[in-house]
Each structure stands twice: as C-alpha cells, then as structure tokens.
Amino acid sequence: MKKKCLVTGSTAVLGSAFKDLLRSSNNSDFVDDLDYVFIGSKDCDLVNKDEVYNFFEENKFTYVIHLAAISGGLGLSGKKFQSTLFYKNVSMMLNILEASKDFKIEKLLLTLSTGMYSPDLDMPYKENDIHSGSAHDGLYGYYYAKRMMEPALRAYRDQYGMNIIGLVPNGIFGENDNFDLNGAPLVPALIRKFTDARENNKDIEVWGDGSPLREWTYSKDMAKAFLWCFKNYNSEKILNVGSTEENSVKDIAYLISDIIGFDKSKIKFDTTKPKGVLKKSTDNSEFLKVSNFQYTPFKEGLKKTIEWFNYNRKNNPEKIRLYSKA
C-alpha cells in the first residue's frame, strides 16, 4: 500500500501547481510512489480540531504539506478582522501540529510568509530576521500567526522529536490563480484588468506611480522548491525559497501590455492613490546553497500564465477563479 501525503490548501495557486507537477509525466524528478491527497476547505475544516483528527484517523497519512492559510481577501482586509485571521491561522497550525504528533507523521512541512518580516529591517530579508521588529501592519493578525510557526516547529521538534520544516515563499503567480479584481494579488489582477481593457478598448488605471519593486515566483517553480525541500531538507532552520528577481509595478504593467498587445498609451498611473511599500526583497542564498535551484524568468512565467488565462477564458471559463477561496 502506498504511503499517503496530505496537501492542504490545494485549491489555491500553489496547491494547483503541486497537482500539475505531480500528475505530469514530464516531471520525473518529482513524481514518486506516494499517494498525495489534495484538500481544500470544503473537504476538511482545519480550524476544527475534531474534524482534523477524524480526517487523519480515516486516511492514515504518513506525511503532511500544510499550504492552507486564510490571508484576507474579500471581507477580511480591515483591521477589525485581524483577530479572525490570527485565530483561524493559529488554530489550523496547532491542529495540524497536534494531529501530526498524535498520528506519528514522519515529516511535516509548514508554510510561512514574507509579510512576517518587519518593513523596518534592512533588505534583503534574511531568515534570522523573522522575530526582529514589527510585522507589516496591514494584515498583522495573519503575519503574526505566520511568525508563530517558527517557534512552534522548533518546540515540537525539540519536545517530540518530530521532523518539521518551515519554508518562506514570496509572491506567487501562475495558472489557476485568483483573478478576482477585489481579492487577487497584483499580477493576476493586472492580467485580468489589461485583458478586459483591451477587449473593451478602454484605458486602464494603475494605482501609484509604478515604482515599487516586488519579487514574484512562478507557481510551478515554487511547487518544485517546496517538493525539493520536502524530499531533501530536514533542518529546523526556516528557508526563504522564492525567486529574488525584482520587477517594478510599471515593468509588470508594460510586460503584460507587450504580451497581450495592449496600447501602452492607455495606461494611466494614478499618483493620487497609494503606491504601497517601495521595496520588499528576500535573501534566498541559504536555499540556493543546498539546492542549486534554477528559477523560471519572470517574463517567461508571466507569458505562460497569460496564455493559460486567455485560453481558458475562451474555452473553459469555469476553470478561471474569479473569487477568493481557501
């Protein structure tokens, strides 16, 4: 009988990339003899300890990759919802940790967030900066919940001898992303906005002056990085695993314009609107030192994502996620 590996949060962009990677015969480096069980919030409420324990009991997992998170989106972005974000994310983490302990899980992977790094720190952010300064204020309930994963994984390793690792992704984009204009991250939101504007021959508004720099990692690269660590990395030290290639908001807007054939003169940067944090960069040298990982250039990943979006919008519109879901 095959050993089972639970993958939570499998309906979001990273979980979807996991599925594509593991189900493709073209990725022989990652295809193995494990039975991967992909779940979303409808399959098991990870905030509910009884549901989690029942699910573990029924399925007899050997490994767990915990990708699931509640990070805001529609209706949860205001400060009055920060306790909800904190409670639900911490509850999911503790339920997964406790179930993994009690059901003798052989290896557990936890997913942290670059938002837990303080904006007051020198960049690029290094892994040992995690508890220095205050986390980003915007979604502090979510970010502090993510910070707690680091001492939690060390505590469970030390007390119970568990094999737990923690990985820190940065911005992720790719096929099967959330293209809802109200809840989507920057890249899929711009792809949707530019496509709509081209089809309707309209101008497009981009908030700010376009100067902020961001790191974005193609989802299939992030899935490969996670799977490499799942199979090869066993240290308690967390790892930044995202690409460090930086692009400004303006660069991204112009790249999308070039790929879809949109008239750049129709792009209007609204400098009266907030432009956000000017720069967020991470140091992934520790990960590269152990893995020699190679990332897809941003432009190449962007082109693949746009091709997927345009094809499925025309031929399989039900595959396009236009709303937030856990």
Q: Exactly one of 142, 143, 144, 156 is catalytic; name it.
A: 142
- 142 as an active site residue: the answer is yes
The H or E element that residue 205 is part of is strand 204-207
Q: What is the DSSP letter of 76?
A: -
In DSSP terms, 8 is beta-bridged to 66
Give the integer Cα–Cα distance in Å for 188 and 179.
5
Instruction: Spell out the residues 6+ positions from residue 301 whose beta carbon is closer than 8 angstroms to its own.
Output: 173, 174, 216, 218, 219, 220, 221
Q: What is the token pair recorded at 25?
A: 């015969």
Report residue 278: phi and psi, to 5°. Answer: -70, -30
Give the integer Cα–Cα distance in Å for 302 and 44.
32
Q: What is the DSSP letter of 317?
A: G
In DSSP terms, 36 is beta-bridged to 5
Q: Buried (b) or exposed (e) across 276-288, using 16+ Cβ within 10 A?
A: eeeebbbebebbb
Give the integer Cα–Cα distance in Å for 166 and 159.
17
Contact call for residues 169 and 217 (beta carbons, < 8 A): yes
Contact call for residues 184 and 24 (beta carbons, < 8 A): no
Return the active site residues: 142
